Amino acid sequence: MKVLLVIDMQNESYFPQKPFEADEVVSRINNIAQAFRKNGDSVIFIQHDGTLENCYLPGSKGWEILSDLQPKEVDHVISKTANDSFYKTELKDLLVKLNVLELVITGSATDFCVDATIKSALTYDFNVTVISNAHTTQDRPALKAKQVIDHYNWVWRELSATKHKVNVVDEANYLLKLRQSVS
């Protein structure tokens, strides 16, 4: 089974300004999620609870998952309180229960929650695929968002393999591979 992780695609991530290629990233995530559901694979939305930082407050508008990405009834939603989606959550247990063979990662922010989750998934020996153009971030003090995204795509490709090496591929090529594996 494959699982799509959609990390922290919440309203607060998009204000006061949208992250890099925000609309395109949402569209790409929707395309992949639709293909996963059609194939009987799972989609898991990770939702940040930032109570400790006084942001992403549960029940607030900012905490809500982007309306264009609303989970379907068959999807899972997991709340987290740290950058790493595995830290003190039920994510690992759910992935084991689902007998996950491939963990496909998308979301926000590239340089925080997405990166931390990828590295943690590797330490748990999950086979990780990152959709290179379906994660995003804001401009940072020393780098533009596009540079941050390009840098992390390179870092993930170059990480020393644990049980698996990170596969970094764009949405179009991933969907093509997915269609070919179903045919």
Tens-digit pLDDT profile for residues 97-126: 999 989 999 999 999 999 999 999 999 999
Residue 153 dihedral angles phi and psi, to the nearest 5°: -60, -40
pLDDT of residue 161: 85
154, 142 Cβ separation under 8 angstroms: no
**Closest to 23 in 3D by CA, of 136, 141, 124:** 136
Give me the percent of the chain exceeding a pLDDT of 70: 99
Q: Is the pLDDT of residue 15 over 80?
A: no
Could you count the other beta carbons within 10 Å of the beta carbon of residue 141?
Answer: 4
Domain at 75, CATH number: 3.40.50.850
Instruction: Look at the chain and report how many structural domains it folds into.
Output: 1
Question: What is the rounded average pLDDT for all residues in the chain?
Answer: 95
Write the pLDDT tens digit of every residue in 21-80: 999 999 999 999 999 999 999 999 999 999 888 889 899 999 999 999 978 999 999 999
pTM (2 d.p.): 0.96
Buried b vs exposed e over 111-131: b needs ≥16 C-beta within 10 Å? bbbbbbbbbbbbeeebbbbbb
Domain that holds residue 41: 2-182
111, 136 Cβ separation under 8 angstroms: no
Q: Is the pLDDT of residue 16 over 80?
A: no
- C-alpha–C-alpha distance, residues 139 and 147, integer Å: 9
**Closest to 43 in 3D by CA, of 12, 73, 5, 10:** 5
- C-alpha–C-alpha distance, residues 164 and 125, integer Å: 7
The larger pLDDT score, comparing residue 136 to residue 181, is at 136
Say whether 24 sits in a helix, a strand or coil: helix
Q: Is the pLDDT of residue 182 over 80?
A: no
